[in-house]
Amino acid sequence: MQIQTPDWVKHAVFYQIFPDRFARSKQPRKRLLREARWEDWDSMPTLQGYKGGDLWGIMEGLDYIQDLGINAIYFTPIFQSASNHRYHTHDYYQVDPMLGGNEAFKELLDAAHQRNIKVVLDGVFNHSSRGFFFFHDVLENGPHSPWVNWFKIEGWPLSAYNGEFPANYVGWAGNRALPEFNHDNPEVREYIMEIAEYWIKFGIDGWRLDVPFEIKTPGFWQEFRDRVKAINPEAYIVGEVWGDSREWLDGTQFDGVMNYLFAGPTIAFAAGDRVDLEQVQSRDYQPYPPLFAAEYATKIQEVLQLYPWEIQLTQLNLLASHDTARLMTIADGDIGSIELSTLLLLTFPGAPSIYYGDEVGLPGAIDPDSRRGFPLEANWNREIFNTHRQLIALRHTYPALRTGDYQVLHAQEQIYIFARTLGTEELIIAVNAGTSSATANADVVSLRTQPNKLLYGTAEVEWNGEGETQQLSLTVPARSGCILGAGD
């Protein structure tokens, strides 16, 4: 079959926003909770506290987001919930009133679309919460509830809050706060499909699916895709799958996944032995142990060979998320690690995703610490910010960085060099992860030109030879990278 994925995603740079933590609205537009006692914005996040960020605050920040070069936003959940992260859904049809409700979301969606910024929502369809109306009915009425078969009830009485007794129902990861849906029930299946359709009709541009691998019901995600794409063929469907995702990336289900298989090796190469093991040991995307260039090249080639090219171009590539520590903390504050990783991210096939605040050097250990409030401008790391702006602009300028072929030219010791080519456009990207300046000499047979103009970074470039085989000599300073394009 011919695989079709949304064209716009191939040209997107995503910004992941945790709505409670990006910005509180400056205008007094909240009808509710105007005088709420929020956690201090700059204090360390807690598991249950709210900082009061809302959708109006994000709307007020759209100038900043657009100026950064972002043209797509992925929101972690925004639906009504009793948790600051909102993965405990109460009502799938209502945007949380704490964020501004459906009215504020419609206003934000329209404002984003006017700027050609796409919006993707987080769909938590494996489980709901104890406050979900249908499950609450089961808690109140027991086996008499009409919603009993919507969940995986194992016995009575249910114990939703008292940990001294068995829950008697299945909760995600054993968590009784997150009752799992019974997806084999046709009514549950239809209910979730209608939610997906409702918000696509509302105007969102796609769904990011939370733990979709937990839903085992045959044909579920195939039907999900068919019904979403019937409304908007260009809607983006991206799954949260951390490992080998071929099972879901066959063209009949998702357009891509959160590409932790890219994140892990990239951090292991760029940050190397600077990685703080405490921040990565409980996560399975393997940003440690350190990798040399040859090992990194092998890992990246394996990733690029896993899926069809059409899928590769719509993968959601990332370095950090709300589920990981932030790169600033993983790399123990090393700015070079951040800049090298960001260079590799913004020059890789697929849609790069930047976790809010990473572009200004926001630190954060494993959650909840990685979910801090977006910092005041006075606290930004300008070097990291300028690196992001420059690399994002280059990605938008050169189509080869978005949809061009990816060819490794050299991978030895700490120097990694590759080419992105599209038609007559040929770019060379080099990264020196070592602590001293290094020179790489490579025979290049795949390029028609000799890119020698520095578009980013610093390096000494020399080409020798003509015809099929050309010799590239490239000297790159320590802990830095560069991009070469066509020059005089």
Active site residue 240: yes
- Separation of alpha carbons 8 and 58, rounded Å: 22
Alpha-helical regions (H) of 39-170: 55-60, 62-68, 101-114, 133-141
What Rg value do the Cα atoms of the chain yield, rounded?
Answer: 24
Alpha-helical regions (H) of 365-451: 382-397, 400-403
> Do 311 and 3 meet the contact criterion of CB atoms below 8 Å apart?
yes
Which residue, among 433, 472, 465, 263, has the nearest Cα to 358 in the 3D structure? 263
> Do 384 and 331 meet the contact criterion of CB atoms below 8 Å apart?
no
What angle in degrees, to the nearest 10, is found between the helix axes of 335-346 and 382-397?
10
Q: Which one-letter amino acid corresponds to residue 422? A: L
> Do 475 and 459 meet the contact criterion of CB atoms below 8 Å apart?
yes
Structure letter (DSSP) for residue 272: G
Identify the active-site residue in 20, 180, 210, 339: 210
Identify the active-site residue in 20, 54, 96, 240: 240
Cα 318 to chain centroid distance, Å, stands at: 5
Long-range contact list for 64-69, CB < 8 A, 24+ apart? 65/15, 65/117, 66/115, 66/117, 68/15, 68/359, 68/388, 68/389, 68/392, 69/13, 69/389, 69/392, 69/393, 69/395, 69/396
Which residue numbers are catalytic?
210, 240
